[in-house]
Amino acid sequence: MKKQLFIFLLLFVSASGFLFAEDSDSSVGENSSISIDKFSIVPETVGRGDLFTLTIILDYDKVDDVDLNLDNLPSWMILRRGPYYRAFIDTDSDKVSQRKIRITATFKADKSGRKIIPAFKISAGSKKLETPPSIMNVGLYRNRKLYIPLEVEWRAGVDEIYEGEAVPLFLTVLNQPSVVLFDSTRVALPDEGFFEKASGLGRISSQRVGEKALYDIPAAAFIYTPKKSGKVVIPAAGVDYSGLTGWSNDLDLKVKPVPEEISETGAVGNFIFTSTINKTELFVGEDLVLTCKVSGRGNLNYLKIPAPEVHGFLMVSSEETDDFSSSLYGFTGSKTIKRTYKAENSGKGSIYIPEFSFLDKESHDIITIKAKRYNLLMKSVETEGSKASVHYSFEKLEPDSVIMKNWHNLYTNPLAYIFLLPGLVFYLLTRIFKKQRLVIAIILSVLITAALFFVYNIPMNNAVSGTESITAVQSYNLAVDKYIEGDVPSAIHYLRSAVYLNPMNDFYREVLENVEQDHGFLNSIQPSIWFHPDLFFFILVLVVNLAFIAGVFRFLRSSGGSSSLIILFSFLAVFSIVMIVYTNSSRSNETGIVYGSEVNIKKIPKDSAEFWMNLKSGTAVKLLYESDNYYLVETGLGVKGWVENNDIIRDNPEL
């Protein structure tokens, strides 16, 4: 009996162990077979504000062990109902039944466009599952038809920028099913700053969603450079394509002031600054070329190249060359300023290039390139023997010399215009007395003309328009006296006065040119225009009288040749009037010389203003404007500045 009991217990324990092991193996196999049987979204295309349902079916039968994680929903998906978990029995085609779980959740589509439904995580027992990502088309209704609008946004890559920094901005269309070229863009300028369109910038990016791809396409690119700190708003912009227009939101940017260390240059980026000169020793009058260049990447459109401090030279010209193009860093390339100077006097000079500082945006460090000084030597032309002195006759003139003939400004005297009357008188008398009494008309014309001359006492050969304080020959002789005394600036002044009084005399001009060349006056303006208005006044008197005489012949003979002469003389009369106005206007441009031991030019007409540069005493300048005790002057090289009145002697001796 005991033996039978022992065998029974042994069989029971073995059977229990076998059943327990089988149940354990069944549980492990069951967990390993859990999977997502079906995943669907209904409908796949909805209007904004419409609802759609997400359905997930699991090969699993324990509802309490299943959880759908919806913690990280995108902002456009708003959960309205669910998630719900329901167990059900599914029968396949072989009529095999299996318990499964259906998960449903209903969402509202709150934004339009092609939206990505992310992968959702599901916990089923100890198994972790994940749904595949998918694309939801959320459209808008127009004329009862649903269309998918363009999603447009501004992309800057940064939220904070510096004053003067050049920042690329991209107007980008999001989530396009294919790469396309858009029809046009609609972009409004911001309230302040530089906003330049940039071509060739921007890259197309893509992301795969299952078997499909969506593309973000830049429709336009711009470089924006703010001019002041504070908040800047880039206005909303639009993109047109196939009859649709998508609009972005405003883009808010915070603009910070630049550090004090770079306030002089305003340079933000990564740069190299260099400066070169073409020579360190030069003769007086030679050109010295200073080239300052900034190369690299950053705000090349905005930064300032520091102005040099120059001693002993006069700037002739300044030329700026921009050789940069838009890039992802703002601008890449170089900016060059080439300045040309002339040495006016022999001796030593210098050019000081201030330091150049910039903010490296990547490292946020202030980089400073050290200042540089060029020491220069200016040599006299004569002492080096490179130029022989010009020899010319500079002696006083006799009072009865032929070159003492002066113009008398008849064109300014209203009485001188009676010279236009003889032809008119002759024409009118001819019309009155006809051909039969032509002799009487001629005699009366002569008598009336003579009467006019005698009444107004203006002889044709020596008309006097007014009293001149000095003649051209007297001014020339004064120039000789001053030159002998060693007062070269005064000699130049009197020579220019002689040219003004008798501009058509080549002798005065030659002497003036030789004196200026011999003494290194390289930036003086040219003296008075070559023609005196009286020349064209005489031509006017002649052609007007000839026109009336031609009119007499036409009246007496009615010939076609007379008509042609009238037209010709009329044209010459108009030309003479134009030239009188032009030459008078040219002579009205006031000129003079700077005179003093040291004549300083200032940038503003104030006693407290700093000196800009020096002018050599005797340099001829144009007087542009007078303000208080200063003249705005311009040299022959186009340099402008303010000089005190006491340092100017006018060329016109009549003033």
Helix axis angle, 533-557 to 560-588, nearest 10°: 170
- Rounded distance, CA 420 to CA 455, Å? 16
pLDDT in tens, 427-461: 787 777 776 666 777 777 777 777 766 655 544 44
How many CB atoms within 10 Å of residue 132?
12
DSSP E strand boundaries for 9-74: 36-42, 45-47, 51-58, 66-68
CA 330, 335, 337: angle at the middle one, nearest 5?
155
Q: Is the dihedral of CA 80, 82, 88, 90 positive or negative?
A: positive
pTM of the model: 0.57
Long-range contact list for 320-324, CB < 8 A, 24+ apart? 324/300
In the structure encoding, which two tokens stand for residue 348, read together? 């030593």
- Rounded distance, CA 67 to CA 127, Å? 11
Three-state secondary-structure class, residue 581? helix
Tokens 């005790």 found at: 629
Identify residue 442 by its one-letter amino acid code: I
pLDDT in tens, 507-537: 888 888 888 777 777 678 777 777 888 888 8
- Rounded distance, CA 494 to CA 593, Å? 10
Phi-psi region of 419 (alpha: psi -120 to 50; beta: other; left: phi over 0): alpha
- Rounded distance, CA 124 to CA 609, Å? 86
pLDDT in tens, 119-175: 999 998 888 999 999 999 999 988 888 889 999 999 987 878 999 999 999 999 999
- Rounded distance, CA 606 to CA 629, Å? 9
Three-state secondary-structure class, residue 632? strand
Contact yes or no for 506/271 (Cβ under 8 A): no
pLDDT in tens, 465-483: 444 457 778 888 888 888 8
Contact yes or no for 401/473 (Cβ under 8 A): yes
pLDDT in tens, 385-431: 333 344 455 677 776 554 445 666 777 777 777 777 777 877 787 77
Q: In what order do the strands lie in the sheet with 160-162?
A: 160-162, 251-256, 230-234
